[in-house]
Homo-oligomer: A and B are copies of this chain.
Amino acid sequence: MAFVSDLERVGRLVEGRLAELLTADGLSDAGDARLAEAMRYAACGGKRLRPFLLITSARLFGVSEADALDPACALECIHCYSLVHDDLPAMDDDALRRGRPTAHIAFDEATAILAGDALLTLAFEIVSDPRYCADSEARAELILLLAKAAGWQGMVLGQALDLAAERGGLDKTRIAGMQALKTGALFRFACEAGAVLGRANAAQRAALVAYASAFGQAFQLADDLLDAEGDAKALGKAVAKDAGRGKATLVALLGIDAAKERLRALVAEAEGALSQFGERAITLIETARFVASRKS
């Protein structure tokens, strides 16, 4: 399938560029080596969906993959840092991620915390660097969007609400609100960043934001369905852990059949949001279909 090979090809681009960005210049001390090694470990693997969305959204407006690659890598740094911190004993306490020991198991807790902090900070170093984009206005706008998406009224708040939900129960509206922050905010940034890099007009940007909103919900629902029904081996992480923890998921509230129906509706919504782009949006549409049907 052409889509999957495109996704994998961009994934390799991101992998290669991250390896470059995570190569320390001129540092040799043992302590340096360990921190950088933990960062590279944490930034390794995964489908690179967020960078793919960013690069594909930018491509809609004729932006080359090379010009979108660095902000895409920055976004992936933020995603990876959030996984490292979420996996910590004080948070979700997960030992397995992408089929490998989580960072605090492979290294130690202090190193995992610092590697997460460093990946988060590196994201802003990458986006502010004039070498990938001479337009300081665009860079500053991307940073503002990224900080808002990732921060105390975005992703971090989503994680805080998710932890709070384990204590109390959340209703459907609140679960959706929490997930819009925890996983939705970075997807939205991915698509909006493509619009910023491509100097999209307001209608184009709004369409991408609407697509990202439906996409993010579809992604989360598919993720929860995989947790409820999936195969731990294929996923490379523990399954059915949400129910075991009393985690707030829509699948638990809606039931599996209604959740699958809602998933189909969200994919249709994502497709509909992009109608103004016609055939050019086919890859974004395929991406939504892909996340809804994935088995791992």
Docked CA distance A177–B129 (Å): 25
**What residue of chain B has the Cβ atom nearest to residue A133's Cβ?**
B140
Classify the interface of chain A: helix, strand, loop or mixed: helix
Across the interface, A120 reaches (CB within 8 A) one of B120, B137, B163, namely: B120
With A137-B136, A174-B29 in contact, is A143–B128 under 8 Å at CB? Answer: yes
**What residue of chain B has the Cβ atom nearest to residue A92's Cβ?**
B110
Check if A272 is an interface residue, CB within 8 A of chain B.
Answer: no
From 96 to 149 in chain A, residues with beta carbon under 8 angstroms from any chain B beta carbon are 108-111, 113-114, 116-122, 124-125, 127-130, 136-137, 139-141, 143-144, 146-148
Check if A153 is an interface residue, CB within 8 A of chain B.
Answer: yes
* Contact yes or no, B147 A140, CB < 8 A: no
**Which of A3-11, A32-40, A187-195 forms contacts with chain B?**
A32-40
* Contact yes or no, A121 B120, CB < 8 A: yes
* Contact yes or no, B161 A29, CB < 8 A: yes
Check if A254 is an interface residue, CB within 8 A of chain B.
Answer: no
Check if A69 is an interface residue, CB within 8 A of chain B.
Answer: no
Check if A85 is an interface residue, CB within 8 A of chain B.
Answer: yes
Copies of this protein, total: 2
* Contact yes or no, A157 B110, CB < 8 A: no
Docked CA distance A39–B150 (Å): 15
Check if A164 is an interface residue, CB within 8 A of chain B.
Answer: yes
| Shortest distance from the beta carbon of A163 to any chain B beta carbon, whole Å | 5
Across the interface, A32 reaches (CB within 8 A) one of B146, B151, B161, namely: B161
Check if A152 is an interface residue, CB within 8 A of chain B.
Answer: yes
Interface size of A by Cβ–Cβ distance < 8 Å?
A: 61
Docked CA distance A125–B146 (Å): 8
| Shortest distance from the beta carbon of A288 to any chain B beta carbon, whole Å | 28
Check if A19 is an interface residue, CB within 8 A of chain B.
Answer: no
Docked CA distance A136–B32 (Å): 33
Docked CA distance A189–B207 (Å): 40
* Contact yes or no, B113 A128, CB < 8 A: no
Chain B residues, Cβ within 8 Å of A203? none
| Shortest distance from the beta carbon of A53 to any chain B beta carbon, whole Å | 20
Docked CA distance A31–B119 (Å): 25
Given A25-B153, A120-B120, 5 other A-B residues pairs in contact with their CB atoms under 8 A: A32-B157, A35-B156, A90-B110, A114-B160, A117-B120
19 residue pairs bridging A and B, Cβ less than 8 Å apart: A25-B153, A31-B157, A31-B160, A36-B152, A81-B117, A88-B113, A90-B108, A90-B113, A117-B156, A118-B156, A119-B152, A122-B152, A124-B124, A124-B143, A125-B144, A128-B144, A128-B147, A130-B140, A140-B143
